[in-house]
A and B are shown apart, each in its own frame.
Chain A
């Protein structure tokens, strides 16, 4: 995002404006007030006596609040201004803006204050792709309010703008004749409310109602409560503490309330384009945040379970048992011009759903939820075998059935060129990517535990365990690249290995599908110079045909990817390596003031003193926000064992002492302490063979 824009947000709603607080549409920036994937305000421009104002300063007071200090004048010649204009804006249900004008002169002044308001009601997809609208616009004017309405058939969206001080209201805004005494002050408050109904009342407007019922009514108190419920981190390193605080606050900002569970929240994927429920992103972020904010996982599991696929629908790529990929609420989705109602084209969200359910129970001991979601979990496990094995070879593959608006790549590396052979050629479809086989294996192993311990179905548990063992045996045979000693990123439509070396190998460690005998070779690759940049593990290894250090999935380093890889390294006993990956990413986080971007360049650390941010990265992004949290878990070695939390730290010397206090779980609350003892400077053994 451009440094000139100011964004404030609250889960379902966000506002992007310029530094004066004005909103004008732009091709390159999603300026406006957005709620549920619709722009509810595209013009919001303040003038005094017909002149635009200039920003003296802009303060992001909190993620949901900003304050703009403005003065009239051209900004080219400095004159002592005799007027100050202050706009204090807070996101809640829509936004609330307090406009204050101060007269510093020793004499009275008469001003014409004008606020232009307008809206194009663009679907977020339309903003992205610059598409044209098909419906009609109208405005309704009352002495204290302006209602902007957009209608197309039965579809209606409206923005209600009201002012506490009566104005001369016309179809394009508000005009105030303001008489200010010497050193006087004038103020009004605007309320801007989005609605899914053209009518005045709010009946039959559940979406508007949900927007009005954020998980936390009083924003400041809500944030304080959120922060105090999370464990407290005490660290020798101030930057570590700052990063931790930043992550908790950003996670609070990304809380998204669904229509079915007012008052509860799950993590939305990221600002500005992805403020909605995603299967993969919401699950992985919930996993990262489990030791810190376990309620996100519970809400994610319920919300995704309620929307689990039950039928075959090619347009939505829906199957029985499939967990959704992405939900959208805008006009294009409503008219089925886009399939996101919800869209199911993800091949990893379904196994990951079972993984999260089990991990959540291991931490929380909340068996009731596991019983409540038994049907959904079984349906998800059934999907793996009955729906996702497109090639009949015992592996999960994907190929979209919606060839117009469906997603081609249904794994986390979802760009067009993310999967390639060593020489850079792209495989056809279907594709069976390796990490999804790992997730499927893990889902079966974890499903077996839940079946045995919670659902009391030992036969099903045994079946799942047999299937898991069989999958592991076949996988280690079919995906293992013999001449390189690592796992192929995928099998293509002919069952041939897509043989480039990728970070996906690290996810395989996390899932546990890797034979013990192969782990050492895999780790040598992950920590070797072709994959490890010094900041983190690259998505694709140097030397591969498509490698590009600033290629999205073909060389860039993804913090979230690294957090799961570090978890995998710990799982296989590679403590030093896990600490080294953690330190690289946490060092990068410090450079970005605690807010890690989605991805940064894969340049060698020795070459660039700072990690180079990927150009169009989304920020804050949920799973980047979750990455430092998961890394903390990894280096502290936190692992639930029955009703206890095992703490087995492997902390880099550089980090010094760490204390994580009041970790919530089935044990109540416990503390974890660790001392920085792991020397990560020892060079890893080089391994360049491929």
Chain B
């Protein structure tokens, strides 16, 4: 794996690309406790019309390394770039997309389940519903 992080060099100019921002952030964090038990390399293959971009995420007990080029992967996730942009910003759900056939995942499924922990929830508009008053008795 490359020792420097190629993603980070593009950080400034491509900040508007959600997928880039997502991988930049993973690379910068370098560790994700939610993946402490996971190990393996996932190749993420994103299609945008005829264009195809690839990312490699290597996980070693929660330590993360992001690269654009790599060799063998333990699993391959394929989807449209547009959908992946939504996944990394919490505007789409991985399992639902998988059931729709909009994502394919070749590899151990438990790795897929752990990988999706990296995605955030929907954009915050979260508020607790006001506590309901007890109905009149």
Q: A residues within 8 Å of B by Cβ?
A: 153-156, 196-197, 204, 206, 259-261, 306-307, 310-316, 318, 329-330, 333-336, 341-342, 372, 375, 390-391, 399, 401, 403, 421, 423, 425-430, 492-494, 496
Known contacts being A259-B109, A312-B126, is A341 close to B132, with CB within 8 Å?
no
Q: Does B22 reach chain A (CB closer than 8 Å)?
A: no
Within the complex, the shortest CB–CB distance from A575 to chain B, in Å, comes to: 41
Residues of B within 8 A of A196 (CB): 101
Closest beta carbon of chain A to B23's beta carbon, Å: 18
In the complex, A204 Cα to B126 Cα: how many Å? Answer: 36
Contact status B95-A342, CB under 8 Å = yes
Number of CB contacts from chain A to chain B under 8 A: 101
Residues of A within 8 A of B12 (CB): none
CB-defined contacts of A307 to chain B, threshold 8 Å = 113
Cβ–Cβ < 8 Å partners of B36 in chain A: 375
Q: Which residues between 99 and 137 of chain B lie within 8 Å of chain A, taking CB atoms?
A: 99-102, 104-106, 108-110, 112-114, 117, 119-122, 124, 126, 128-129, 131-135, 137
Decide: A154 and B102 in contact? CB cutoff 8 A: yes
What's the nearest-Cβ distance from chain A to residue B47, in Å? 12
Task: Using A156-B101, A318-B121, A341-B95 as known contacts, say yes or no to A306 and B134 having CB atoms under 8 A apart.
Answer: no
How distant is B34 from chain A, measured CB to nearest CB, in Å? Answer: 6
Residue B37 lies at the interface, judged by CB distance under 8 Å to chain A? yes
Q: With A and B bound together, what is the CA distance between A316 and B128 in angstroms? A: 14
* Minimal beta-carbon separation of B132 from chain A (angstroms): 4
B104 — nearest CB in chain A belongs to which residue?
Answer: A204
Set A155, A313, A342, A425: member contacting B101, Cβ < 8 A: A155
Query: In the complex, given contacts A375-B36, A401-B129, what are 20 additional A-B residue pairs having Cβ atoms less than 8 angstroms apart?
Result: A154-B100, A154-B101, A155-B100, A156-B101, A311-B119, A312-B122, A314-B126, A333-B99, A334-B100, A341-B93, A341-B96, A399-B132, A403-B129, A426-B135, A428-B132, A428-B134, A429-B131, A493-B131, A493-B133, A493-B134
**B90 in the interface, Cβ–Cβ < 8 Å?**
yes
Are A313 and B96 also in contact (CB < 8 A) when A154-B102, A493-B133 are? no
Contacts of B104 in A (CB 8 A): 204
Q: How far is the CB of B66 from chain A (nearest CB, A)?
A: 20
Residues of A close to B37: CB separation below 8 A:
372, 375
Residues of B within 8 A of A401 (CB): 126, 128-129
CB atoms of A306 and B126 under 8 A apart: no
List, in ascending order, chain B residues with CB within 8 A of A330's CB.
99
What are 19 A-B pairs with beta-carbon distances under 8 A? A153-B100, A154-B100, A156-B101, A204-B106, A307-B113, A310-B34, A311-B90, A312-B126, A315-B122, A334-B101, A341-B93, A342-B95, A372-B37, A375-B36, A401-B129, A427-B134, A429-B131, A430-B131, A492-B134
Q: Is B33's CB within 8 Å of the partner chain A?
A: yes
CB–CB B133/A310 < 8 A = no
> Which of B106, B120, B134 is close to A496, meaning CB atoms less than 8 Å apart?
B134
Residue of A nearest to B131 (CB): A493
Q: Count chain B residues whose beta carbon lies closer than 8 angstroms to a beta carbon of A.
A: 36
Q: How far is the CB of B133 from chain A (nearest CB, A)?
A: 6
B95 partner residues in chain A, CB cutoff 8 A: 341-342
Contacts of B137 in A (CB 8 A): 421, 423, 425
Query: When the two chains form the complex, which single residue of A314, A315, A391 contacts B131, counting CB atoms closer than 8 Å?
Result: A391
Residues of B within 8 A of A372 (CB): 37
Question: Contacts A311-B90, A375-B33: A334 and B121 contacting too (C-beta < 8 A)?
Answer: no
Cα-based distance from A185 to B134 in the complex (angstroms): 72
Q: Cα distance A135–B93 when bound, in Å?
A: 21
Q: Give Cα A494 to B114, complex, Å.
A: 40
* The 4 nearest A-B residue pairs measured at CB: A311-B121, A334-B99, A428-B132, A260-B109
Taking CB atoms, residues of chain B closer than 8 Å to A334 are 96, 99-101
